[in-house]
Structure 1
């Protein structure tokens, strides 16, 4: 490959990255939705779509935070939930260990 061809390829890449190329409406087309393909993708990465209602302000805040970290807000929510669940599992495990050491009778006596 000649140096000129390499330089031209790099320039083209930069134009795509900057949005100078590829963002005209003439090059946009609607892609058909295939539920089977989406289901296969979700299953392969073990994701299950759910619905959840949240306050608009919370969603806006999550989107702002996600943008700061160059994430979508849904992946951010997944990360937050994973962190919370991991933390809570540790707390529950510690409580279970305390119950084993003290015994259930001792625990009831301390609560009363």
Structure 2
């Protein structure tokens, strides 16, 4: 490749990057997105489209927050849900561990309550 060709390619790349080229509507065309491609992308990313109803104000707030973080609002929602789920799973695990530790004591308390109920009925 000649030095002139390389220089020209670099200049053209810079023009594309700066927006000097390609910003006119004549460069834009709508491309149909094949359903099979979309499904392959979703599967590879382990994503599944869902539908959810939310208040308009909440959507507006999420879009504002997402824009502040240079994100789309749907990726922001995924992040928020993921954080919530991770946090809740930790809490549930801690509760389950606490119940394992307290388990025998709780059973004794339940047995004592049943015994107290029987005594009260007999009295």
**Shared fold per TM-score greater than 0.5:** yes
Distance 2:96 2:88 in 1: 12
SS in 2 for 1:103: helix
> RMSD in angstroms over aligned alpha carbons?
2.7
Count of residue correspondences: 110
* 20-29 vs 87-96, greater mean Cα deviation: 20-29
Higher relative contact order (CA 8 A, sep 6+): 1
Taking a change above 3 Å as real, the CA distance of residues 19 and 102 of structure 1, as seen in their structure-2 partners, is same
CA distance in 1, matches of 2:109, 2:68: 50
Shift of residue 14 of structure 1? 3.9
Point out where structure 2 has 5 or more consecutive residues left out of the alignment.
114-123
Equivalent pair of 1:42/1:48 in contact (CA under 8 Å): yes
How far is 1:21 from its partner?
2.0
Match of 1:62 in 2: 62
Confirm or deny: 8 A CA contact 1:63 1:73 kept in the other structure: yes
How many Å apart are 1:18 and its aligned residue? 3.6
Give the TM-score taking structure 1 as reference length: 0.81
Unaligned residue ranges in structure 1 (runs of 5+): none
